[in-house]
């Protein structure tokens, strides 16, 4: 009887331990953003249906190994191609990546909020008699089917000219990417 009780308790403890470990794995699992992603203008809202003045085609190739996201951004404009390499660290350590026009560097910190990747960054740019600060909150969300990646950028620009502060209207840009086979 005593042996049966000990065996039952040991089995119960093992079952609970395995269940808790599996539950933690499910809760802590983050979407894998790896793959090649093609920009889909028809499903995006970038302020113009004609496309972007910066590119005709945009492709992201992502290698995702927590906590690091390596991104190769390929921009095509007419006969010209530009490749940019970016890295994001999801543990908030911070990163510095080129802006999409290549003119400046964005200093940002990236983290997960549930299954949504959030990157908050700032770019400072000198302008006559002052500077402009562009603060961007960018979210990356993978659709449940794993074939659509939505990137939403909320942008706030502050101009500081001759010690006067002016803020432009906030801007929201939605880019939708489709996974390539």
Across the chain, what does the average pLDDT equal? 86
Please tell me the predicted confidence (pLDDT) of residue 16. 43
Measured distance CA(153)–CA(123) in Å, rounded: 14
Which tens digit of pLDDT belongs to each residue from 26-57?
Answer: 446 899 999 999 999 999 998 766 667 778 89
* Whole-structure pTM value: 0.80
In this predicted structure, the answer to whether residue 10 has a pLDDT above a threshold of 80 is: no
Residue 126 has pLDDT above 80, yes or no: yes
CA distances from 62 to 85, 90, 92, 166 (A): 10, 14, 19, 37
């Amino acid at each position: 009887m005593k042996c049966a009780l000990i065996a039952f308790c040991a089995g119960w403890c093992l079952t609970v331990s395995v269940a808790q470990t599996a539950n933690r794995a499910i809760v802590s699992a983050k979407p894998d953003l790896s793959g090649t992603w093609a920009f889909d203008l028809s499903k995006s809202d970038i302020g113009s249906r004609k496309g972007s003045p910066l590119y005709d085609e945009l492709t992201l190739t992502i290698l995702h190994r927590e906590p690091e996201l390596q991104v190769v951004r390929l921009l095509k404009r007419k006969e010209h191609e530009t490749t940019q390499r970016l890295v994001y660290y999801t543990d908030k350590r911070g990163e510095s990546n080129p802006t999409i026009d290549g003119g400046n560097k964005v200093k940002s910190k990236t983290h997960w909020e549930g299954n949504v990747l959030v990157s908050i960054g700032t770019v400072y740019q000198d302008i006559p008699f002052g500077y402009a600060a562009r603060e961007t909150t960018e979210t990356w969300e993978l659709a449940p089917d794993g074939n659509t990646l939505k990137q939403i950028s909320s942008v706030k620009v502050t101009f500081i000219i001759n010690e006067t502060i002016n803020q432009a209207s906030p801007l929201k840009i939605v880019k939708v990417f489709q996974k390539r086979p």
